[in-house]
Amino acid sequence: MRAVVTTDGRMRLEARIFRVALGRGGVRTHKQEGDGATPAGVLALRRVLYRADRGPPPACAVPIEPLAPDDGWCDDPADADYNRMVRRPHPGRSEVLWRDDALYDLIGVLGWNDAPVVRGLGSAIFLHVARPDFAPTDGCVALAAADLRAALAAGLREIEVLA
């Protein structure tokens, strides 16, 4: 099932409309590492990661796996593991997935720059939990936790981000 995300911060999934937060750099058709933009296009939901210590596994149509405290995501274009999940500490720069806040309690890994990975075209593009005020993300798509669980349970498999 495909959801459509619009630049006004809405995601339509069948008859439901969800509020979303998008990248601080807007939506771009030419995504680059560090631009803060959400990439435009059709992004497959590859898998879902979740904090088992903070809630049950989500119902979803894609593979799920629990996060561990040493999980990270390499966002260093100079590293061989760029745009891949890694174990921390890691020699290249990497984002912490086991966060103190709730933003990554549930992470949908979106298919951006992963088949194949091209250095510098952006990394760690996730579907994750939004901040309470729906502040912009660093390039991800974020929803309220309950809405994210509902979208996953409805069979979400990909999102189309419109420019």
**What mean pLDDT comes out for the span 9-15?**
97
Give 60-85 pLDDT, tens digit per residue: 999 999 999 999 999 999 999 999 99
CB 130 within 8 A of CB 142: yes
The identity of residue 98, as a single letter, is W
Kindly report the pTM of this predicted structure.
Answer: 0.97
How far is the C-alpha of 75 from the C-alpha of 96, rounded, in Å?
A: 10
Q: Does domain 2-161 have CATH number 1.10.20?
A: no
How far is the C-alpha of 153 from the C-alpha of 163, rounded, in Å?
A: 26
Per domain, the residue ranges of the chain are 2-161
Q: What percent of the chain has pLDDT over 70?
A: 100
Q: What six digits make up the tokens of 34?
A: 């560090």
Secondary element (H or E) of residue 53: none
Give 37-54 pLDDT, tens digit per residue: 999 999 999 999 999 999
